[in-house]
Amino acid sequence: MKTILITGGAGFIGSHVVRLFVTKYPDYKIVNLDALTYAGNLENLKDLADKSNYIFEKADILNAERLAEIFQKHQPSGVIHLAAESHVDRSISNPIAFVETNVLGTVNLLNAVRNLWGDDLEGKRFYHVSTDEVYGSLGEEGLFTESTPYDPRSPYSASKAASDHFVRAYFHTYHLPVVLSNCSNNYGPHHFPEKLIPLIINNIKKNKSLPVYGDGKYTRDWLWVKDHASAIDTIFHKGRSGETYNIGGNNEWKNIDLVKKLCDIMDELLERPAGSSRQLITFVKDRPGHDRRYAIDSSKLQQELGWEPSMKSEEGFRETAKWYLENEAWLDHVLSGEYQAYYEQQYK
Ligand code: NAD
Ligand code: DAU
C-alpha cells in the first residue's frame, strides 16, 4: 500500500485534498499531519473518521523530532505539503509566526523526507503547495506565468516565497524529487471566516456591516476549492519533477463586485428584499501594502497535464453561501474562542 502524508489536512484546502485522496484512492494510506491551530478543524473531516485508509497525526511541523518519528512510523513515499499560516492580515500583525511555520516548518519537512528517503528516490515525490501572491501585484493588464519573477510584498507572501525557494534548492542541491504549484484565491465549504467570502456571508447572515478594504477595486481570481484539489491530484500524479504549475480559476472579480454578488445571492436565499444586504457594505481602512490585482495564466497545467477548472462562479458562490447557511454548527464552533478576539482587533 502506497502511503501519502498530507500536511495541513485539517485546514480549508487540505481537508478537500485529504477527502479526494482517501475516497479516490482506497489503495493508498493517507496520513493527515496537522497541528490543529486555530485554522485546523477535524470537523472538516468527520465523514472520513471510519475510513480504514485514513490516519490522523497531531504534530507541529516545527517539531523536527516528532516529524522524524512520524516519518519512521508511516514511511510515506509521497508528501503533499499544505500546512501553513495562510492569512495575510495576520501576517501583518505577527510576521514571526509566518517565518516559523512557513519557512522553518517547510525546511524541517524537507529534512525529514531526505532523512527517510536517503538516496532511494525512485517513486518518491515532495509536493509543495504555494500561492500566486509570491509573484507580487499586477496592474490592469497581464497574468502571472510560471516565469514571472518573484516579488512578494506581504510577510505572508514573503514567507511562502522563501519556502518555494527552499523546495527548489533541495531539488537542485540534493536531487529531491519535488513539484510545486502556485494557486489563486480559493473559495468553497470549510473556508475559515477570517477570509473575504465566508466573512461576508457570515456578516450578511448576522446583519453586520460588510468591511471592504480601501476603494474595493482590488481584484482576485477565485477558484472553487474542489478544483484546486483536483489540480493537486493531477500534478501529484502527472507533474514533472522540479517543475512549477500555476493554478487559477480564470475568474477575476473586483472585491466590491464580488461582495455585491454575495449580497444578492444571500438576499435570495434568506428571502430578504432585493438590495437589502448591499446596505451593509462599509468601506474601511485599507490593508497595508495591499496587492492590487492577482490573475493567473494556468495554460501550462491545462495543456501539459489536461486539468481545467469545472465550476462556474455564479453556481460556486451560491453553493458556498448555501453550505454556510446549512452548516451553522460548524460556523458557530469556529467562530467561538480565539476568533472573537481576532475580529475585534482587526475591525475595531
Ligand atoms: P488554512 O489556514 O485553512 O489551513 C492551514 C492548516 O495548516 C490548518 O489545518 C493548520 O492547523 C495547519 N497548520 C498551521 N501551522 C501548522 C504547523 N506549524 N504544523 C502543522 N500544521 C499546521 O490554509 P488553507 O487556506 O487551506 O491553505 C493551505 C495551503 O494552500 C497553504 O500553504 C496556503 O499558503 C496555500 N494556498 C492557499 C490559498 C487560499 O486561497 N486559501 C491559495 C493558494 C495557496
Ligand atoms: O491569492 C492566493 C491567496 O489568497 C492565498 O495564498 C491566501 O492564503 C489567501 O488567504 C488569499 O489571500 P487574500 O489576501 O487575497 O485573501 P482574503 O480573503 O484575505 O482577501 C481577499 C481580498 O478581499 C483582498 O483584496 C483583501 C479584501 N478584503 C479582505 C477581508 C478579510 C476586504 O476587502 N475585507 C476584508 O474584511
CATH of the domain at 42: 3.40.50.720
**87-145 pLDDT, tens digit each:** 999 999 999 999 999 999 999 999 999 999 999 999 999 999 999 999 999 999 999 99
Its pTM stands at 0.98
Domain count, the chain: 1
Asked if the structure places residue 301 within a domain, the reply is yes
Any domain includes 85: yes
What would the pLDDT profile of 42-81 be if each residue is shown by its tens digit? Answer: 999 999 989 999 999 999 999 999 999 999 999 999 999 9
Q: Is 39 in the pocket of ligand 1 (CB under 6 A)?
A: yes
Nearest ligand to the CA of 88 is: 2
Q: Which of 195, 215, 218, 225 to mutate to test the pocket of ligand 2 (most atoms within 8 A of CB)?
A: 195
In a domain, 266, yes or no: no
Percentage of the residues of the chain whose pLDDT score is greater than 90: 94
55, 3 Cβ separation under 8 angstroms? no
Is pLDDT of 337 > 80? Answer: no
Question: Which atom from ligand 1 is nearest to the alpha carbon of 223?
Answer: 40
- Of 83, 74, 58, 109, nearest to 2 by C-alpha is 74
Instruction: Please give the Cα distance from 165 to 150 (Å, whole number).
Output: 10
Q: Would residue 197 count as lying in a domain?
A: no
Within a domain: 278: no
| Ligand 2 atom nearest residue 287's Cα | 26
Instruction: Please report whether residue 135 resides in a domain.
Output: yes
Q: Give the structural domain span for 131.
A: 2-187+223-249+294-311
Q: Is 133 a catalytic residue?
A: yes
Query: Does 26 fall in a domain?
Result: yes
- Which atom of ligand 2 is nearest the CA belonging to 131? 6
In a domain? residue 115: yes
